[in-house]
Amino acid sequence: MATNQLQANGERFWDTIEASAKIGPGVAGGLRRPALSDSDKEVRDLFRRWCEEAGCTVSVDQMGSMFARREGREDLPPVLVGSHLDTQIAGGRYDGIIGVLAGLEIVRTLNDLGITTRRPIEVVNWTNEEGARFQPPMVAAGVFAGVYSLEWGLNRPTRDPGPGEGKTLGEELRRIGYAGGVPPGGRDVDSYFELHIEQGPELERTGTSVGIVTGGYAVRAMLVRVKGETSHTGPTPMEKRKNALVGAARMITAADDLGWDYAGSDGKVTAARLTVSPNLAGILSDHAELSLDLRHSDPAVADEMLAELEKRLAEAARRAQVDYEIVERWTFGDERFDPDCVARLREAAEALGVSHRDMLSQAGHDAYHMAARHPVAMLFSPCGGGITHNEAENTVLEDQLPAVNVLLNAVVARAER
């Protein structure tokens, strides 16, 4: 290992991970800390205190995203490094969290060493990356990068069940005291670095320490609204039925079949969320709403899958005698990351003697939106068994520390540029 490389304090880093894991515990060892919940407020307060104790100035933008700034020698556009502290409803201790707290560890390590970089460094915690309470996910990074308007972002309604349903992201930001005053984005940023657990099994399977992420899988997502007709479940003959639930089920089956058709080249099609109304025993349902997405490493193949999916949805609707409409569409993941930023990660890994391989990310990340406007690179660390978005997410410090050190040296190299 080259001796001129900076080394993070692994034990201190892991202590912050453990402290985070105490806030918003789930029922099975993981976390239930959805965006703008009381526990999200609590972890934000802790993160703010840590950053201020490390000498940073913390600002909060109007979408609630937090920026902990460590000044540089010159007043240049900063290097951003971070991820998100929110989790899924039954999420893990590491997804997103490791990226934010690695950013904090970079600041602390530089403090220990008395290093001031040329450019400022800002550690970022993005609001609502997961989308567990507010759709879409990655909404605050999207607003920062100008992909969504601020007004639209603040008006995203919760999907909380019960009487709280429909409260907006803006209302929930005010409730927990994180409706900041800084307009999101609209300023020069040197670059954005994000460390994240892989959310897949490849690093572990191949015994590789880090993944240098060069871009994302192309994602095509849609929201489908199915329109049927209510009638009695008993006497209505099959040929008169327009059951929206059957329509949606046939669409899901067709989508899953398509996923299997492309499984050989690691394509996927997912049905993640279905709501049906009135969804009662004794009556056929007249409405359903279905979230579908597909992913492939090659954007051209993703587009081919999308065309085929649309054909099969039409056929499924015909078979179920229902009408439908694709009411929303999202496309992301086609971006390739910035060659210089990616090279900094690769060089740091080489210099540290950390094994690495180039990869594409299969999940969505805040980095995708940032890449639309700024130089971006991502780094993957191993993820035990490839399990994620699950309380059983697991890893150990020795699997994460190499990635933290690669990130540290790449960020410092870029900040010295």
Output the smallest distance, CB 24 to a second copy, in A: 16
Output the smallest distance, CB 136 to a second copy, in A: 8
Do strands 191-197 and 376-381 pair parallel, antiparallel, or not at all (unpaired)? Answer: parallel
Residue 183 identity (one-letter amino acid): P
Output the smallest distance, CB 352 to a second copy, in A: 26
Encoding tokens for residue 408?
């540290």
Do strands 218-227 and 287-296 pair parallel, antiparallel, or not at all (unpaired)? Answer: antiparallel
How many angstroms separate the CA atoms of 402 and 407, rounded? 9
Output the smallest distance, CB 336 to a second copy, in A: 18
How many angstroms separate the CA atoms of 28 and 92, rounded? 10
Is the separation of the CB atoms in 67 and 59 below 8 Å?
Answer: yes
Helix (H) or strand (E) holding 351: helix 339-352
Candidates 95, 83, 64, 82; CA nearest to 121 is 82
What would the DSSP string read from start to end of 148-200? S-HHHHHTPBB--SGGGTT-BHHHHHHHHT---SBPSS-S--SEEEEEEE-SS
User: Can you name the residues that pair with 58 across neighbouring β-strands?
Assistant: 68
Output the smallest distance, CB 208 to a second copy, in A: 15
- Residue whose CB is less far from a second copy, 111 or 236: 236
Encoding tokens for residue 224?
């489908």
How many angstroms separate the CA atoms of 347 and 361, rounded? 20
- Residue whose CB is less far from a second copy, 196 or 414: 196
Candidates 220, 158, 192; CA nearest to 364 is 220
- Residue whose CB is less far from a second copy, 49 or 240: 240
- Using the Cα atoms of residue 316, residue 318, residue 320 and residue 325 in order, give the sign of their dihedral: positive
- Residue whose CB is less far from a second copy, 296 or 356: 296
Encoding tokens for residue 352?
């540290």
- Residue whose CB is less far from a second copy, 115 or 327: 327
- Residue whose CB is less far from a second copy, 206 or 253: 253
- Residue whose CB is less far from a second copy, 76 or 392: 392
- Residue whose CB is less far from a second copy, 139 or 411: 139
Output the smallest distance, CB 257 to a second copy, in A: 9
Output the smallest distance, CB 244 to a second copy, in A: 11
Encoding tokens for residue 128?
């609502």
Output the smallest distance, CB 293 to a second copy, in A: 7
